[in-house]
Copies of this chain bind each other. A is one copy, B any other.
């Protein structure tokens, strides 16, 4: 396996570069700048430009599987070619939100950890321990479980109260953190839930959190860092659409960089 960024290495990288930024390559073939043709090859070229303009500003890239699967047969190849373009010292996340019974989970783990060779995959906890364990069996690889997500629908079930008065998502954190360690598990906690971040940080003092929702979803960066960061860093803060689609014109790469610089500056208070 080529990719293997440990917790210590990730922490070092965050402190060296003074950034928590994770750039989300949720590249929609239909939203490419007007100078691009709408082909899978163009998606790779667009991703290459975004990576060139952002790699010094971020520590991580997140690839959202939906946007690649929507390209049909070509999708997996575009994913692979994009992953090959990523710098070696970046933490690569497949944002796939998978979750299925053990023998199926083992096949997904094979697809993502061996074939795509990413550092980490996002997973849904609804099906419980045996849907997550096959991913945790891969040494050096990470599982990122959904905790409290950034969307409106997080209220439907994640914020249901259990009999002991805790929220479902709190139970998910408390139970699932025993399945692995802070060296192979992280959690998705939405930036739109920044006020809950300090209580979540109390439950999990050591785990890294992947935090979506600071860009297009307008979560508060300062509050996320204040409530969520740790001495090690403890955060990967994702922005996708606000960077990728900062401009639809020829200047898309410059504008993408400007947005990444803006976000990184907001993060510097955390160091």
Contacts and interface: CB of A to CB of B under 8 A. Distances in A.
Interface of A: 26, 28, 64, 66-67, 69-70, 72-73, 75-77, 80, 95, 97-105, 107-108, 110-111, 115-116, 124-132, 146, 149-158, 160-163, 165, 168, 171-172, 175-176, 241
A13 to B, nearest CB: 27
Nearest to A28: B107
A168 B160 contact: yes
Nearest to A76: B73
A176 B76 CA distance: 32
A127 B160 CA distance: 12
B69 A108 contact: yes
Contacts of A73: 73, 76-77, 80
Contacts of A150: 101
Given A107-B69, A111-B70, A126-B125, A172 B157 contact: yes
Contacts of A28: 107
Contacts of A104: 26, 64, 66-67
A151 B107 contact: no
A102 B66 contact: no
7 contacts: A69-B111, A70-B107, A72-B116, A124-B124, A125-B126, A157-B168, A157-B175
Contact of A151 (B131, B149, B156, B165): B131
B163 A151 contact: no
Count the copies. Answer: 2
Given A28-B107, A127-B149, A153-B129, A161 B163 contact: yes
Contact of A158 (B97, B128, B153): B128
Nearest to A105: B66
Contacts of A26: 103-104
A130 B107 contact: no
9 closest A-B pairs by beta carbon, nearest first, are: A128-B153, A128-B156, A66-B107, A69-B111, A130-B153, A70-B111, A70-B107, A101-B151, A66-B104
Contact of A156 (B110, B163, B175): B175
Contacts of A168: 157, 160, 168
B162 A160 contact: yes
Given A103-B241, A163-B163, 9 more contacts: A66-B98, A66-B100, A66-B108, A66-B111, A95-B100, A101-B150, A102-B151, A127-B154, A163-B165
A161 B163 CA distance: 6
B153 A107 contact: no
Nearest to A110: B70
Contacts of A155: 128
